[in-house]
């Protein structure tokens, strides 16, 4: 049976920077074919035009689908499921699907839809990424342009227009596997630290909180989380269970400035650790998990040589969740262990290297 196609759900309020994050991901997709589903409606639709204009092989025009009949969490059966079925029936299937929800959509009903017959065997939720406007949340507003949110909310009759943004924000945080604190360039270092710590406390165990100034996340951090969120709905409870919300097309007046200048990944770093062969595969996996926890490493991947095993051990870790399997013979290369460590800037390379080679 072919492997399921991974799908990443990107949620977050108007102006948080979802489109900027996705645009950056497409420009740095490293050869992955990515299909986009964008939830737009009303008069605010501009995402599609921006993303369709990216002109990359990764995101051909036919790979961008807009759902414009209202908020995606209210139109799952009518809109989202048929779109997914059409996408999955293509002979040239994408390597990854990215769904940008309308910002007032609840992520939970969308994740639940991945358990529908006909969908559940073919695609899986790689992870839910919640993009947060760090400046607005720090100021207690959740979004930078409340009038624009109200205007968009008014355009969808399915929505509960009374639900406070604070509750919708709690839902987005409750469902997240990764929280991207965006616009950290508008905050002091102390404000960013305090906000990141609070979001970590308010979210589920194991959720990664990362910082970005212009939505510039390494694609290896954003994609490949392997969470299978649809099989873990109980822990992603909604604060409230009635239909509502949407908002997302309009965030671009504010996002445009970050298209003007490409930002690198100054907030992230990666380095390689090598060591001779290891004695015990499971003990080493545990050692890796412990090092990740102690040093807040986002991703760790590579392979290890295990004593008396001709095959190399492939190792991939997302946070403290470590997956290993023997994949191929070593061939003529040296029998060594080689790991790539990825994390936010400021990793203690010496300590991490010492701990991984101990």
pTM recorded for the entire structure: 0.77
**pLDDT at residue 44 in the model:** 47
Largest separation between any pair of C-alpha atoms in the chain: 66
- What residues contact residue 210 under an 8 Å CB cut-off, 6+ apart? 178, 179, 180, 181, 217, 221, 267, 298, 344
∠ CA 301-306-307 to the nearest 5 degrees? 165
Q: Distance (Å, rounded) from C-alpha 109 to C-alpha 241?
A: 10
Residue 2 per-residue DSSP state: P
Q: What is the pLDDT, as a whole number, of residue 74?
A: 59
Distance of CA 222 to the CA centre of its chain: 5
Residue-level pLDDT at 349: 92
pLDDT score, position 256: 33
Residue with tokens 């100021």: 139
Q: Residue 228 has what pLDDT?
A: 83
pLDDT < 50 stretches in the chain: 42-46, 241-265
Tally of CB atoms within 10 A around 191: 15
Count CB-CB contacts under 10 A for residue 248. Answer: 32
Q: What is the pLDDT of residues 122-134, one digit of tens each?
A: 999 999 999 998 8
Give the pLDDT of residue 354.
93
pLDDT score recorded for residue 8: 93
CB atoms within 10 A of CB 147: 7
Per-residue tokens: 158: 């399915």
Q: Among 41, 44, 36, which Cα is nearest to 15's?
A: 44
pLDDT of residue 350: 93
């Amino acid at each position: 049976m072919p492997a399921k196609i991974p799908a990443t759900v990107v949620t977050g309020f108007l102006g948080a920077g979802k489109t900027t994050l996705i645009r950056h991901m497409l420009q740095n997709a490293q050869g992955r074919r990515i299909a986009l589903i964008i939830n737009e409606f009303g008069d605010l639709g501009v995402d599609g035009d921006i993303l369709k204009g990216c002109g990359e092989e990764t995101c051909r025009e036919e790979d961008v689908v807009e759902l414009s009949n209202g908020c995606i969490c209210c139109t799952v059966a009518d809109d989202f499921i048929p779109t997914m079925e059409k996408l999955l029936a293509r002979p040239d299937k994408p390597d990854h699907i990215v769904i940008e929800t309308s910002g007032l959509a609840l992520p939970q009903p969308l994740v639940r839809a991945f358990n529908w017959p006909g969908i559940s065997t073919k695609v899986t939720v790689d992870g839910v990424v919640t993009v947060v406007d760090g400046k607005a949340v720090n100021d207690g507003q959740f979004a930078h342009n409340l009038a624009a949110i109200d205007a968009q909310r008014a355009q969808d009759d399915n929505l509960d227009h009374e639900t406070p943004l604070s509750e919708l924000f709690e839902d987005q945080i409750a469902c997240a596997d990764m929280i991207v604190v965006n616009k950290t360039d508008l905050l002091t270092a102390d404000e960013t630290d305090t906000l990141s710590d609070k979001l970590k406390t308010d979210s589920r165990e194991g959720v990664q909180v990362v910082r970005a100034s212009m939505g510039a996340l390494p694609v290896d951090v954003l994609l490949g989380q392997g969470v299978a969120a649809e099989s873990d709905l109980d822990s992603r409870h909604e604060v409230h269970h009635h239909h509502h919300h949407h908002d997302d097309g309009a965030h671009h007046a504010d996002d445009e400035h970050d298209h003007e200048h490409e930002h690198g990944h100054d907030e992230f770093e990666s380095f390689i650790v090598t060591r001779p062969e290891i004695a015990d595969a499971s003990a080493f996996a545990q050692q890796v998990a412990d090092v990740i926890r102690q040093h807040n490493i986002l991703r760790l991947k590579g392979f290890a040589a295990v004593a008396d095993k001709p095959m190399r051990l492939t190792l991939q870790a997302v946070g403290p969740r470590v997956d290993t399997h023997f994949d191929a013979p070593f061939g003529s290369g040296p029998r060594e262990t080689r790991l790539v460590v990825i994390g936010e800037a400021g990793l203690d390379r010496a300590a991490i290297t010492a701990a991984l080679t101990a």
